[in-house]
């Protein structure tokens, strides 16, 4: 392959040695968003240790700053939030690429006493917003949006809200959190019931901050509440760890330990899936920090086998499905993912994206309406250019697939990795280097 000259193309050279070492990954993105928003809502000064370095969480900080909140960086990953009553923003609030920022802040701003507009980049402006707007309207919110109130920009005329009992047809933590955040300023009780439990960082952090919140199976209820100003420490993001878990499992003789990873059971589906596929995984140093389980994960290269991944587990692995597809190409037999239609509404249509890109590498993968079917094990071939569709998780999945291809590949616009994991390439390079030294 000729030398890469286009600065948008990242060249991935296959590794022909095991990955061995101990790494850390960036802070959990979901918890970082919530820590910043809840810190601001506490109307006090709080410190956040190990805040995410990704662009998505910076979008949340920028939106909060536009609302008058003070944000000070003590060091690269440690920040102080000076919360206070929000001011009416004098410009449109830009959530960038971040679904969590726009949906959670829509919930917060619905009960404000001012006018605000939330928007985002091209990808975010094409994602479904009616799921949040409709229940908030039932609470009395005055919200309008493009394309019949379904797409951002979202205009909000802050108003007095009343609690609702909302039965959601989808398991979405962004939706649940938007309603609960609106419930924090609404009269009466607000309850959200989900078909399956989605990630529960909102509930755990609100409990840690002494909010008036109760949980009964898949129903969460909240009343008007004042948050305690407590400092927050954030664990590493298991969704970022997932790329290294799969790399460790599929690159022969690898042995990787990932330290300080969030192990909240609503997020550990990737561990269950890889274990079911036959991966050797050990959890070490388990502890609890700010209401979240944390520990180290050790993974060793393993012979993988295909499995069925069904709708019950989907909310616990939703962000990991693209990299699970890469693992499945290296598993003996058939892997079937079903009940994952919401994957089409992420930063990209991830079902289409991962199927198209893995096919370029010669994988036997078939797109279905609500998932995909992969027959393994395939030797992936290189000598092609992958696209990442402005989607950080498709970019990183392509990179790991490229590491086991039989010749080098290129990835177009790999910089999208910065949305969640700016240190991704250097973390891989350090592992490859330490393998070379052994
Ligand atoms: C998130 C919830 C999930 C997930 C997203 C982050 C969150 O989205 O895919 O990356 O922080 O609440 P949905 O709530 O849309 O399923």
Is the shortest distance between the CB of 319 and ligand 1 below 6 Å?
A: yes
Cα dihedral across residues 239, 244, 247, 248: positive or negative = negative
Q: How far is the CA of 100 from the centre of ligand 1 (A)?
A: 6
Across 82-92, average pLDDT: 97
Common-topology check for domains 9-27+236-437 and 29-233:
yes
> Is the predicted pLDDT of residue 372 greater than 50, yes or no?
yes
Across 361-373, average pLDDT: 98
Instruction: List pLDDT tens digits, range 301-314.
Output: 999 999 999 999 99
Q: Whose CA is nearest to atom 16 of ligand 1?
A: 172
Q: How far is the CA of 252 from the centre of ligand 1 (A)?
A: 32
The per-residue pLDDT for 434 is: 78
Q: Whose CA is nearest to atom 11 of ligand 1?
A: 30
Across 258-264, average pLDDT: 98
Is the shortest distance between the CB of 190 and ligand 1 below 6 Å?
A: no
With helix as H, strand as E and coil as C, how does the chain read?
Answer: CCCCCCCCEEEECCCCCCCEEEEECCECHHHHHHHHHHHHHCCCEEEEECCCCCHHHHHHHHHHHHCCCEEEEEECCEEEEECCCCCCCCCCEECCCCHHHHHHHHHHHHCCCCEEEEECCHHHHCCCCHHHHHHHHHCCCEEEEHHHHCEEEEEEECCCCECCEEECCCCCHHHHHHHHHHHCCCECCEEEECCCCCCCHHHHHHHHCCCCEEEECCEEEECCCCCCCCCEECCECHHHHHHHHHHHHHCCCCEEEEEEEECCCCCCHHHHHHHHCCCEEEEEEEEEECCEEEEEEEEECCCEECCEECCCCHHHHHHHHHHHHHHHHCEEEEEEECCCHHHHHCCCCHHHHHHHHHHHCCCEEEEECCEEEEEECCCCCCCCEECCCCCHHHHHHHHHHHHCCCCCEEEECHHHHHHCCCCHHHHHHHHHHHHHHC
The per-residue pLDDT for 234 is: 98
Confidence of residue 2 (pLDDT cuts 50, 70, 90): very low
Q: Do 12 and 410 form a contact (C-beta atoms < 8 A)?
A: yes
Confidence of residue 1 (pLDDT cuts 50, 70, 90): very low
The per-residue pLDDT for 8 is: 87
Residue 214 tokens, joined? 């109760």
Is the shortest distance between the CB of 30 and ligand 1 below 6 Å?
A: yes
Q: How far is the CA of 175 from the centre of ligand 1 (A)?
A: 8
Is the shortest distance between the CB of 173 and ligand 1 below 6 Å?
A: yes
Confidence of residue 51 (pLDDT cuts 50, 70, 90): very high
Q: CA-CA distance, 196 to 120, in Å (whole number)?
A: 28
* Half-sphere exposure in the Cβ direction for 313 (13 Å, CA): 18
Q: Do 106 and 132 form a contact (C-beta atoms < 8 A)?
A: yes
Is the shortest distance between the CB of 60 and ligand 1 below 6 Å?
A: no
Q: Whose CA is nearest to atom 15 of ligand 1?
A: 172
Residue closest to 314 by CA, chosen among 171, 178, 422: 171
Query: What CATH code would you report for 29-233?
Result: 3.65.10.10
Q: Determine the residue of 30, 97, 270 to mutate for testing ligand 1's pocket, defined as the one with the most ligand atoms within 8 A of the Cβ atom.
A: 30
Q: How far is the CA of 436 from the centre of ligand 1 (A)?
A: 37
Is the shortest distance between the CB of 172 and ligand 1 below 6 Å?
A: yes
The per-residue pLDDT for 251 is: 97
> Is the predicted pLDDT of residue 282 greater than 80, yes or no?
yes
Q: CA-CA distance, 372 to 358, in Å (whole number)?
A: 11
Q: How far is the CA of 435 from the centre of ligand 1 (A)?
A: 35
319 included as an active-site residue = yes
Is the shortest distance between the CB of 233 and ligand 1 below 6 Å?
A: no
Q: CA-CA distance, 178 to 39, in Å (whole number)?
A: 16
Is the shortest distance between the CB of 52 and ligand 1 below 6 Å?
A: no
Across 24-37, average pLDDT: 98
Atom of ligand 1 nearest to the CA of 30: 11
Q: Determine the residue of 124, 198, 204 to mutate for testing ligand 1's pocket, defined as the one with the most ligand atoms within 8 A of the Cβ atom.
A: 198
Across 48-67, average pLDDT: 98
Which residues are 9's β-sheet partners? 412
- What is the domain partition of the chain in residue ranges? 9-27+236-437, 29-233
The per-residue pLDDT for 438 is: 65
The per-residue pLDDT for 432 is: 87
**Residues above pLDDT 90, as percent of the chain:** 95
11-15, 82-86, 176-180, 280-284: least confident range? 11-15
Q: Whose CA is nearest to atom 10 of ligand 1?
A: 319
Beta carbons within 10 angstroms of residue 66's beta carbon:
18
Average pLDDT, the chain: 96
Across 364-376, average pLDDT: 98
Is the shortest distance between the CB of 174 and ligand 1 below 6 Å?
A: yes
The per-residue pLDDT for 16 is: 84
Q: How far is the CA of 246 from the centre of ligand 1 (A)?
A: 21
Instruction: List pLDDT tens digits, range 399-417.
Output: 999 999 999 999 999 999 9
Instruction: List pLDDT tens digits, range 166-201.
Output: 999 999 999 999 999 999 999 999 999 999 999 999
Confidence of residue 75 (pLDDT cuts 50, 70, 90): very high
The per-residue pLDDT for 325 is: 98
Instruction: List pLDDT tens digits, range 196-245.
Output: 999 999 999 999 999 999 999 999 999 998 999 999 999 999 999 999 99
Q: How far is the CA of 419 from the centre of ligand 1 (A)?
A: 14
Confidence of residue 437 (pLDDT cuts 50, 70, 90): low
Query: What CATH code would you report for 9-27+236-437?
Result: 3.65.10.10
Residue with tokens 């909302």: 166
Q: Which of these is catalytic: 94, 296, 319, 349?
A: 319
> Is the predicted pLDDT of residue 286 greater than 90, yes or no?
yes
Is the shortest distance between the CB of 340 and ligand 1 below 6 Å?
A: no
Q: How far is the CA of 240 from the centre of ligand 1 (A)?
A: 14
> Is the predicted pLDDT of residue 125 greater than 90, yes or no?
yes
Residue 162 tokens, joined? 């009343």
Residue with tokens 């995984």: 281
Is the shortest distance between the CB of 318 and ligand 1 below 6 Å?
A: yes
């Amino acid at each position: 392959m000729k030398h890469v000259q286009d600065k948008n193309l990242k060249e991935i050279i296959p590794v022909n040695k095991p990955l061995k070492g101990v790494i850390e990954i960036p802070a959990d993105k979901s918890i970082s968003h919530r820590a910043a928003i809840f810190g601001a809502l506490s109307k006090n000064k709080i410190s956040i240790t190990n805040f995410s370095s990704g662009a998505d969480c910076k979008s949340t900080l920028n939106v909060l700053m536009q609302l008058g909140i003070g944000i000070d960086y003590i060091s690269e990953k440690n920040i102080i939030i000076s919360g206070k009553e929000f001011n009416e923003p004098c410009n449109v609030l830009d959530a960038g690429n971040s679904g969590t920022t726009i949906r959670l802040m829509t919930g917060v701003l619905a009960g404000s006493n001012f006018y605000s507009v939330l928007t985002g980049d091209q990808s975010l402006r094409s994602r479904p917003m009616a799921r949040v707007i409709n229940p908030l309207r039932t609470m009395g919110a005055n919200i309008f949006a493009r394309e019949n109130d379904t797409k951002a920009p979202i205009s909000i005329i802050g108003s007095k809200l009343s609690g609702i009992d909302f039965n959601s047809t989808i398991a979405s933590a962004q939706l649940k959190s938007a309603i609960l955040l609106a419930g924090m300023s609404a009269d009466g009780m607000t309850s959200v019931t989900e078909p399956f439990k989605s990630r529960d960082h909102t509930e755990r952090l609100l409990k840690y901050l002494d909010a008036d919140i109760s949980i009964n199976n898949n129903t969460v209820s909240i009343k008007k509440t004042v948050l305690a100003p407590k400092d927050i420490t954030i664990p590493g993001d298991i969704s970022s760890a997932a790329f290294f878990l799969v790399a460790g499992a599929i690159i022969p003789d690898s042995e990787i330990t990932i330290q300080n990873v969030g192990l909240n059971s609503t997020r550990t589906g990737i561990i269950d899936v890889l274990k079911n596929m036959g991966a050797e995984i050990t959890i070490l140093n388990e502890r609890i920090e700010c209401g979240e389980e944390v520990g180290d994960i050790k993974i060793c290269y393993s012979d993988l086998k295909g499995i069925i991944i069904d709708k019950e587990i989907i909310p616990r692995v939703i962000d990991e499905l693209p990299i699970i597809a890469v693992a499945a190409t290296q598993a003996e037999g058939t892997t079937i993912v079903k009940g994952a239609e919401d994957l089409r509404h992420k930063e990209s249509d991830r079902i289409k994206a991962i199927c198209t890109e893995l096919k370029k590498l010669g994988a036997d993968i078939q797109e279905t309406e609500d998932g995909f079917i992969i027959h393994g094990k395939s030797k992936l071939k290189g000598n092609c250019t992958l696209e990442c569709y402005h989607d950080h998780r498709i970019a990183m999945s392509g990179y790991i697939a490229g590491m086991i291809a039989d010749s080098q590949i290129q990835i177009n616009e790999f910089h999208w990795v910065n949305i969640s994991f700016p240190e991704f390439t250097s973390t891989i390079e350090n592992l490859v280097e330490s393998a070379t030294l052994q």
